[in-house]
Amino acid sequence: MGVDGLELDVQEARDALVVHHDATFHDEHIAKLSLARIAGRQGESVDVVVPTLLESLAVIAHRPGTMVLVELKNVNTIASYIDEIKPFTGKLDIRTISFNAQLIGDSS
């Protein structure tokens, strides 16, 4: 049977889009953290890795045609997201969802 696709929760850090379910990492809001700060906190108390969206899509792209459901959680602008997924649009079946209707409206 298998799995039909993957779901990624995306948060916006100060300088990157990262894949992480919660808006906080080690009790700090991801939106206030740089990627370097997130990387520095990884593994402090639990073995958690916070990959960037780009890193995640690059790994998934080794399985062409995979459906990837991206939930934009705490993302303020869609422009950087669209730039990051462009190289993968022919390789992966990327679908975008969000509870922020205005954000999705900005993509059309």
Domain ranges of the chain: 5-105
pLDDT under 50: residue ranges of the chain? none
Helix then strand then coil, in percent of the chain rounded to 5, is: 30, 25, 45
pTM (predicted TM-score): 0.87
**Which of 27, 21, 31 has its CA nearest to residue 41?**
27
Output the CATH code of domain 5-105: 3.20.20.190
CA atoms within 13 A on the CB side of 108: 4
pLDDT attached to residue 45: 58
pLDDT attached to residue 107: 56
Distance (Å, whole) CA 65 – CA 16 = 25
**Which of 52, 68, 59, 69 has its CA nearest to residue 17?**
52
Distance (Å, whole) CA 9 – CA 19 = 5
Distance (Å, whole) CA 85 – CA 68 = 11
Distance (Å, whole) CA 45 – CA 57 = 27
pLDDT attached to residue 92: 97
